[in-house]
Structure 1
């Protein structure tokens, strides 16, 4: 762990959304990160539609920075948008952490959100409703995340995609019901409210969990990604 006061800033890179509740969820998550690590400078940059943009955030920084994508898969934003923005920011020396998913801490957070939606206990399979990507590797990571969630819950979990892949959450729910499952839960594998979250809520699940939001396990994961990426920078500083 890098000592507070000497630590390079954590630049969290979110997708961004026009939904104020979605941006509030990102703000709450970063507030929890800051509370877990007093003294660590935490900044936000968005790769799409919301401000501050990643370019704007980088313009206000110099020296060493640890970039932590608040993205659940290794898609276009991680592979293209973030490196492109860093290449245009010559005053910044950065180490980029991997995307958040898949990870057991996300399974912990997803299980926690499902427990909130199923206060009397759950049963039956779970549809893991992810945003989806045109990148096969990103969707394969969602499949891995479904496996981690299944192991955590002790019940089947099926990956589904709101765009860029199949099945859709509605198709996955229908297929499980056709297979004889009366109760099918939908776990929203999303960081906050927005278009995809509303779409997942209409998939027909018996219950639908809240997005991950500011769950403590997600905040701990952000700091874990930061710490692992910060080590080379700290050694070179």
Structure 2
């Protein structure tokens, strides 16, 4: 389940990720659903899965942070879908989160944008959506140093497209002040959309020579993380069922 967007590139990227997932895990029946703004909805997909004869489904949120959408919106949608289909067990898996494989994928995208890992002149502004959750923003801020791990880059600074500070402009200014001679804007976004376009515009206004890395997208490591979340959630649900039956 992805967030959804008015920008068609977002849904296209989600479908590309899921195509890669199906190739990685051909034994798992995979369906795409969206929280909002794109179709199909989660409720519609639950109906499709139920009509196909399944009695249990794991919903993996394709979200990089654990904030309002995963803690409030999605549980409410699952509760509504369960009320309509009382015979269907719906299991919410953890978000993709700050998994080290996704951090490595971001690093790969930065290198792919033209910033060699052995270049000490590079400063990385790691852009993310921003959240009303201080805890979620703190996790994102800590990612900047992790993205630089194993490289010779000068340093990194997290920045946000909305909801909180610092902005990409201030991150670029700070990196320059610290001595970075080349700026690369990394993307802690799963897919392109209106917010990544905003980040690009602001970054280039602050530094026309800045390199802009692609979002994570259908990187080869993403399906691994999704399958991991699925299997852990399914195993935990099976264990709960066993304990209940034993009791």
TM-score normalised per structure 2:
0.85
Question: Following the alignment from structure 1 to structure 2, what is the Cα–Cα distance between the partners of residues 152 and 195?
Answer: 31
Aligned to 1:69: 61
Question: Following the alignment from structure 2 to structure 1, what is the Cα–Cα distance between the partners of residues 151 and 7?
Answer: 31
Aligned pairs for 1:182-193 (under 5 A) are 182-193=181-192
Question: Following the alignment from structure 2 to structure 1, what is the Cα–Cα distance between the partners of residues 149 and 174?
Answer: 21
Which 5+ residue runs of structure 2 have no aligned equivalent?
Answer: 243-247
- Residue 76 of structure 2 is aligned with which of 81, 84, 93? 84
Aligned to 2:100: 104
Aligned to 1:9: none
| 1:152–1:225 CA distance, 2 compared to 1 (3 A) | farther
Question: Following the alignment from structure 2 to structure 1, what is the Cα–Cα distance between the partners of residues 237 and 48?
Answer: 19
1:58-116 per-position Cα deviation (integer Å, ceiling 9, x unaligned): 23233211111101101111001110011112233122222112111011101111121
1:152 to partner: Cα distance: 4.3
SS of match in other structure, 2:5 = coil
Higher strand share: 1
| 1:83–1:169 CA distance, 2 compared to 1 (3 A) | same
1:156-215 per-position Cα deviation (integer Å, ceiling 9, x unaligned): 221111001110112211221233322121101111111011112121362111111000
Higher helix share: 2
Pick the structure with greater CA Rg.
2
Tell me whether 1:136 sits opposite 2:128 in the alignment. no
Question: Following the alignment from structure 1 to structure 2, what is the Cα–Cα distance between the partners of residues 42 and 139?
Answer: 30
Question: Following the alignment from structure 2 to structure 1, what is the Cα–Cα distance between the partners of residues 221 and 43?
Answer: 28
Contact kept? 1:46, 1:53, Cα under 8 Å? yes
The count of residues paired between Structure 1 and Structure 2 equals 225
Aligned pairs for 1:122-161 (under 5 A) are 122=119, 123-155=121-153, 156-161=155-160
Contact kept? 1:101, 1:145, Cα under 8 Å? no
Contact kept? 1:188, 1:210, Cα under 8 Å? yes
RMSD: 1.8
TM-score normalised per structure 1:
0.88
1:18-54 per-position Cα deviation (integer Å, ceiling 9, x unaligned): 2122111110001001100012111111112111112
Contact kept? 2:9, 2:192, Cα under 8 Å? yes
Question: Following the alignment from structure 1 to structure 2, what is the Cα–Cα distance between the partners of residues 137 and 50?
Answer: 28
Which 5+ residue runs of structure 1 have no aligned equivalent?
Answer: 1-12
Q: After the TM superposition, which of the residue ranges 117-126 and 191-200 deviates more from structure 2?
A: 117-126
Contact kept? 2:98, 2:143, Cα under 8 Å? yes
